[in-house]
């Protein structure tokens, strides 16, 4: 609600009582809703610190009676998927090897693309850009199989390199849009002055645009790291058990039908997989919000 400005009588805002009915309702609702959002995280943490007997006895919301870190160790280094029993660590390193080159490649390509579209427009560029943005809405399922064929022809199917290519391709629409809009919002005089001084395409990019656009690069990195780390569909299609990323391996560990279900190990594994994006989220704060909002900005 806006400032309660009073036009008659004493000036200045009305003194507020901290426990008015309105405030109790407001904060009460917010706290209850916050609980709904926080409960799963709490349950994950609590369950992962309990031993199996305690889980079978008690309820999932109760705090652990004795804290054990064994489930975490087991999830990291011993949990089984099929015949492999070396835990989530393999998936973790696969995900790292997929994420880092994909993020670098997609951001380099998209930033140069966006720069070309914003400052060096040529005839037909907007047709390609239109198709690209339209492509972001096409369900991936329509494009999956031809890409399988393409990667197989190149000998990259089920290899980490193939996944890097796939992530670079599908990250392109949103990132190109992000960079194009950002470069277009920079003052044009800057670009013109550099042109007058004789700078060319790459000169302007490296000496003027790049140093000025660090914030948007950080936003792009956040967007891509969380997006690629959280991907499941491409991982399950374009990788094989040896090269599965963490999310796919996690799902296989938790939803495997063999053996006794160890809920504490499952929750520890789930937390480990969620740890990377959560860490980025809590560290980056407002930039993350800007990143997800940028995903929503229209061309």
Return d(Cα 162, Cα 168) in angstroms, integer: 10
Minimum distance, C-beta of residue 91 to another protein, in the bound complex (Å): 11
Shortest CB 15 distance to another protein, Å: 15
Q: Is residue 95 at the binding interface for another protein, with CB under 8 A as the rule?
A: no
Complex with another protein: residue 39 or 190, whichever CB lies closer: 39
Residue 65 near another protein by CB under 8 A = no
Shortest gap between Cβ of 175 and another protein (angstroms)?
10
In the range 98-127, which residues lie near another protein by CB under 8 A?
A: 109, 112-113, 115-117, 120-123, 125
How far CA 12 is from CA of 1, 111, 123, 165, in Å, comes to 16, 50, 59, 61
Decide: is 38 part of the binding site for another protein (CB under 8 A): yes
Q: Using the rule CB under 8 A, is 32 a contact of another protein?
A: no
Binding of residue 2 to another protein (CB under 8 A): yes
Contact between 178 and 114 (Cβ < 8 Å): yes
What mask, x for binding another protein by CB under 8 A, covers residues 259 to 298? Answer: ----x--xx--x--xx--xx-xxx--x--xx--xx-xxxx
Helix (H) or strand (E) holding 158: none
**Residue number, 51 or 295, with CB nearest to another protein:** 295
Contacting another protein (CB under 8 A), which of 202, 206, 210, 240? 202
Tokens coding 167: 């992530």
223 touches another protein by CB under 8 A = no
Which of 247, 265, 268, 294 touches another protein by CB under 8 A? Answer: 247
3 state SS of 281: helix
- The total number of residues shown for the chain amounts to 299
Separation CA 266–CA 156 (nearest Å): 32
Cα(151)–Cα(167) distance, rounded to whole angstroms?
13
Nearest to 77 by CA among 277, 284, 298, 265: 265
Stretch binding another protein (CB under 8 A), from 4-12, 63-71, 78-86, 96-104:
4-12
Q: How far apart are CA 277 and CA 44, in angstroms?
A: 16
> For another protein, which is the closer residue by CB, 44 or 194?
44
Residues 44-63 that bind another protein (CB under 8 A): 44, 47, 55, 59-61
Q: Which is nearer to another protein, 19 or 137 (CB)?
A: 137
Identified binder of another protein from the candidate list 14, 29, 65, 82, rule CB under 8 A: 29
27 binds another protein (CB under 8 A): yes
Residue 151 near residue 162, CB atoms below 8 Å: yes
Q: Does 221 bind another protein (CB under 8 A)?
A: no
Task: Decide if 270 contacts 250 (C-beta within 8 A).
Answer: yes
Query: Which whole-number Å values give the CA distances from 118 to 110, 194, 221, 249, in the listed order?
Result: 12, 15, 20, 41
């Amino acid at each position: 609600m806006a400032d309660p400005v009073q036009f008659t009588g004493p000036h200045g805002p009305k003194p507020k009582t901290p426990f008015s009915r309105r405030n109790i309702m407001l904060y009460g609702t917010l706290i209850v809703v916050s609980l709904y959002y926080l409960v799963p995280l709490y349950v994950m943490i609590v369950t992962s610190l309990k031993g199996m007997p305690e889980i079978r006895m008690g309820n999932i919301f109760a705090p652990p009676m004795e804290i054990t870190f064994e489930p975490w160790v087991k999830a990291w280094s011993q949990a089984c998927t099929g015949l492999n029993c070396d835990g989530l660590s393999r998936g973790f390193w696969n995900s790292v090897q997929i994420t880092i080159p994909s993020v670098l490649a997609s951001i380099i390509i998209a930033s140069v693309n966006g720069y070309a579209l914003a400052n060096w427009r040529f005839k037909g560029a907007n047709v390609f850009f239109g198709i690209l943005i339209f492509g972001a809405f096409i369900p991936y399922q329509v494009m999956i199989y031809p890409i399988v064929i393409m990667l197989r022809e190149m000998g990259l199917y089920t290899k980490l390199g193939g996944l890097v290519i796939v992530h670079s391709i599908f990250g392109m629409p949103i990132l190109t849009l992000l960079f194009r809009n950002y470069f277009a919002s920079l003052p044009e005089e800057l670009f013109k002055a550099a042109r007058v001084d004789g700078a060319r395409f790459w000169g302007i990019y490296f000496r003027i645009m790049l140093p000025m656009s660090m914030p948007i690069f950080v936003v792009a990195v956040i967007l891509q790291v969380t997006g690629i780390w959280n991907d499941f569909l491409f991982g399950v299609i374009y990788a094989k058990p040896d090269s599965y990323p963490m999310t796919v391996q996690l799902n296989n560990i938790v939803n495997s039908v063999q053996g006794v279900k160890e809920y504490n190990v499952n929750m520890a594994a789930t937390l480990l997989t969620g740890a990377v994006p959560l860490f980025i989220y809590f560290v980056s704060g407002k930039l993350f919000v800007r990143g997800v909002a940028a995903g929503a900005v229209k061309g």
